[in-house]
Amino acid sequence: DAKTTQPNSMESNEEEPVHLPCNHSTISGTDYIHWYRQLPSQGPEYVIHGLTSNVNNRMASLAIAEDRKSSTLILHRATLRDAAVYYCIPLRGPFGNEKLTFGTGTRLTIIP
């Protein structure tokens, strides 16, 4: 499994953009980059995923480096509800019954 490196914690002001980085230098060519987040006392929830191209959805954007060794999750306008631990997880494709291996993630604090 590809290893990932994320900052332990980050802070951001409410209503400002947040850029959460992830290094995955050992990622294989067929690994998708998934992001999940875990709100306090809840199970993780899917945020976004991508392979090579940048991706957007209603929750966030994912910017993937050209060499795929890093990616950045972008929350365009952080709210207090976005305070969570964010996990970057490479997953092999095509998917089937994939088990997720969680690293330490980044604990995001939103300042009102």
Partner 1 sequence: GAVVSQHPSRVICKSGTSVKIECRSLDFQATTMFWYRQFPKKSLMLMATSNEGSKATYEQGVEKDKFLINHASLTLSTLTVTSAHPEDSSFYICSANPTGNSGNTIYFGEGSWLTVV
Site string for partner 1, 34-73 (x = CB under 8 A): ----x--xxxxxx--x------------------------
93 binds partner 1 per the rule CB under 8 A: yes
CB of 55 to partner 1, least distance (A): 11
Beta strands in 5-105 (DSSP E): 9-13, 18-23, 31-38, 45-50, 55-56, 61-64, 70-75, 84-92
CB of 70 to partner 1, least distance (A): 20
Three-state DSSP state, 61? strand
CB of 88 to partner 1, least distance (A): 12
Task: Provide the sign of the torsion angle of the four alpha carbons 103, 87, 91, 25, taken in this order.
Answer: negative
Question: Which of 29, 53, 94, 112 is the binder for partner 1 (CB under 8 A)?
Answer: 94
C-alpha span between 24 and 70 (Å, rounded): 5
CA atoms within 13 A on the CB side of 22: 31
Question: Which of 33, 86, 105, 108 is the binder for partner 1 (CB under 8 A)?
Answer: 105
Residues forming contacts to partner 1 in the complex (CB under 8 A) are: 32, 38, 41-46, 49, 87, 93-105
